[in-house]
Amino acid sequence: MLKRERQAFILHQVNLHNKVLSSGLSQEIKVSEDTIRRDLQELAEEGKVIKVHGGALSPSFDQLNYPSDKIYSHTQKNIIAQKAVSLIEDGMFILTGGGTTIIEMARNLPPQLRATFISGSIPAIVEYMHHPNCDIIVIGDKISRNSKITVGAEAIKQINQIKADICFLGINAIDIRHGITDNDWEVVQLKKAMIESAQSVVCMTIAEKINTIQPIQIGLLQSIDFLITELPPDSPELQPYVEAGIKVL
Amino acid sequence: MLKRERQAFILHQVNLHNKVLSSGLSQEIKVSEDTIRRDLQELAEEGKVIKVHGGALSPSFDQLNYPSDKIYSHTQKNIIAQKAVSLIEDGMFILTGGGTTIIEMARNLPPQLRATFISGSIPAIVEYMHHPNCDIIVIGDKISRNSKITVGAEAIKQINQIKADICFLGINAIDIRHGITDNDWEVVQLKKAMIESAQSVVCMTIAEKINTIQPIQIGLLQSIDFLITELPPDSPELQPYVEAGIKVL
DNA sequence: GGAAAAACCGCATAAATGCGCAAAATACCG
DNA sequence: CGGTATTTTGCGCATTTATGCGGTTTTTCC
């Protein structure tokens, strides 16, 4: 088989099946894997395929970009995100909710991080997928259109099966007396389950939401371990929480 | 044999077999390889053939000259997508897999459609979320990085709980004897479960994948109900499938 | 952190190529 | 028809290209 002919065949296969294995092609065409690899290299240089360990992919198969909406109070959330990332270590099992703050955290993750993320938030999952060394476990159930996360009994059941190292929640209201509260029944159920399933719980919110109340309670202050806002930890607004035993970042 | 005559013969062979070997032609015509090479050179200068190391290729066969920037077989997939959409009716429970063909279908859904989609494919879910009147149920489990869908025992268990009206699968290989086959074990398990959980199964593929085989079997032809390709249903390539009792669109 | 798979590197080999030249075939012309 | 010019062809040889193999490094997966 001629070299060019072979490359045409390979290209065809790649476009047909979206991926090819060097070993498989080597067997099919009856040439050494070195040859296949050299072919893939050349095709990759021309941009006809994307070379990966073990084979090659179709160039049209890796487009999954998500429109990065402009986020409300982006600057503050970015500060929060960076503080949150500092709590993450390699190898952790990380349970996360949804919301723009979580997305912002996902975008601030170190690129080479090795960790396992568990989430029902579609936008968050899309972000996690940009990290090649991270495993991602999706919480399945019906999607709540408001929050773009999966909610429902099945989702809660799946969360209950998990024991994560740490859980990150973006919260909508926190108050010394009423703890963390929210206004969506299903989301509240989910967050409760997440708090139960994590060794330590990190709540993230912009300072505006400090000392506010929403109709439905997720949990008391005792149930959370960290509180992250864009303010410095020694800000007077945060002192009541420090005194309540919460680690404020 | 005259030179012109010989070149006409060579050209004929090239167009017939898409490729010729200098050595082979040399034997057939009983002239030295130098002569063949000189002939090929001339034909190549006239653009009649493409000369490569060891012989020549038909210009029409050489796909390597085609620019790679346009998405492979996008047009075909769009045709397929539109046929697939015609099977969808308001109120249906629709189970779908992943892959570019499914994404294409998702993008072709009528904007006001009311239906429930069930899928483990993140890119597909993102597309479904653009449809305000659709419910979306996510199949949860670990994400397979290759295929961007959730795979694993938990995913299969969740699929087993479902009885959908219709299931759309983008498939990578189909053959009369071997049925539908694929090359990723986990994805195969998932597709098997999906087929079991749906009243009717729709397979979508571009015609090039017809009569091809991959290493792992998903199911025999009996397990599917519809086959959609970009070809008209009465194409000769598709007749064996029609005779096998599959509704071909 | 270690084993297995894949990729990389350099080298040897075999095939293919180009080139010069001479022989053969063909064309041309008186 | 014979002789010469021109084209075509084949061959030897140096050079380039393509390929496979062994050994080493890198990546991946438990």
The domain limits of chain B are 3-62, 68-248
Task: Give the B window 52-91 contacts with A, CB below 8 Å.
Answer: 52-55, 57, 61-64, 68, 71-74
What is the model's pLDDT at position B200? 95
Reported confidence tier of residue B84, pLDDT bands at 50, 70, 90: very high
DSSP structural state of residue B224: -
Radius of gyration of chain A (CA): 23
Same fold, B3-62 and B68-248: no
> B25 Cβ partners below 8 Å, 6+ apart?
B10, B13, B36, B55
In this complex, do B172 and A4 lie within 8 Å of one another by their Cβ atoms?
Answer: no
Instruction: Find tokens 């979508």 and name the residue.
Output: B204
Nearest CA in chain B to A58: B72
User: Between A3-17 and A33-45, two packed helices, what is the crossing angle to 10 degrees?
Assistant: 70
What is the model's pLDDT at position B102? 92
Reported confidence tier of residue B183, pLDDT bands at 50, 70, 90: confident
The predicted model scores a pTM of 0.79
CATH architecture of the region B68-248? 3-Layer(aba) Sandwich (3.40)
**H/E element, B143:** strand B142-144
Q: Which two tokens stand for residue A143?
A: 């999607």
Residue B96 carries which side chain, given as an amino acid letter? T
Q: How far apart are CA A219 and CA A222, in angstroms?
A: 8
CB atoms within 10 A of CB A163: 11
Q: Which two tokens stand for residue B178?
A: 């071997």
In terms of C-beta distances under 8 Å and separation of at least 24 residues, what long-range contacts does A228-231 make, across chains too? A228/A80, A228/A83, A228/A84, A228/A202, A228/A203, A228/A204, A229/A76, A229/A80, A229/A204, A229/A205, A230/A75, A230/A76, A230/A77, A230/A79, A230/A80, A230/A206, A231/A207
Chain B residues close to A66, C-beta within 8 Å = 126
What is the model's pLDDT at position A72? 58
CB atoms within 10 A of CB A161: 8
Beta strands A164-170; A198-204: pairing state: parallel
Average pLDDT over residues B7-35: 87
Interior/surface letters B190-207, b for 16+ CB within 10 angstroms, e for the rest: bbbbbbbbbeebbbbbbe
What is the model's pLDDT at position B66? 58
Tens of pLDDT, residues B140-167: 999 987 788 999 999 999 999 999 999 9
Chain A residues close to B204, C-beta within 8 Å = none
Reported confidence tier of residue B8, pLDDT bands at 50, 70, 90: confident
* pLDDT block averages, 10 residues each, chain A of length 249: 88 81 90 93 87 84 45 73 90 90 87 88 88 88 92 94 94 93 93 95 93 93 94 92 93
CATH dotted code for A3-62: 1.10.10.10
Q: How far apart are CA A133 and CA A109, in angstroms?
A: 12
Transcribe chain A into DSSP letters: --HHHHHHHHHHHHHHHSEEEHHHHHHHHTS-HHHHHHHHHHHHHTTSSEEETTEEE-GGG-------PPPTTHHHHHHHHHHHHTT--TT-EEEE--SHHHHHHHHTS-TT---EEEE-BHHHHHHHTT-TT-EEEEPPEEEETTTTEEESHHHHHHHHT--EEEEEEE-S-EETTTEEEES-HHHHHHHHHHHHTEEEEEEE--GGGBT---SEEEE-GGG--EEE-SS-TT-GGGHHHHHTT-EE-
Nearest Cα neighbor of A143 from A171, A165, A158, A122 is A122
Residue nearest to nucleotide C26 (CA to C1'): B2
What is the model's pLDDT at position B197? 95
Average pLDDT over residues B19-34: 88
Nearest Cα neighbor of B238 from B202, B201, B206, B198 is B206
Chain B residues close to A4, C-beta within 8 Å = 50, 52-53, 57, 62, 64
What is the model's pLDDT at position A61? 59
Assess contact for B205 and B239: CB atoms under 8 A: no
The gap between B40 CA and C16 C1' (Å) is: 14
Nucleotide nearest to A55 (CA to C1'): C6
Chain A residues close to B136, C-beta within 8 Å = 142-143
Selecting from B72, B136, B158 the residue whose C-beta is nearest the C-beta of A60 gives: B72
Is B170 near chain A, with CB under 8 Å?
no
In this complex, do B64 and A48 lie within 8 Å of one another by their Cβ atoms?
Answer: yes
pLDDT of B208 higher than 90: no
pLDDT of B69 higher than 60: no
Q: Which two tokens stand for residue A69?
A: 């909406």
**H/E element, B80:** helix B74-85
Dihedral angle, C-alpha A6, A9, A14, A20, nearest 10 °: -50
What is the model's pLDDT at position B213? 85
CB atoms within 10 A of CB A200: 14
Beta strands A198-204; A247-248: pairing state: unpaired
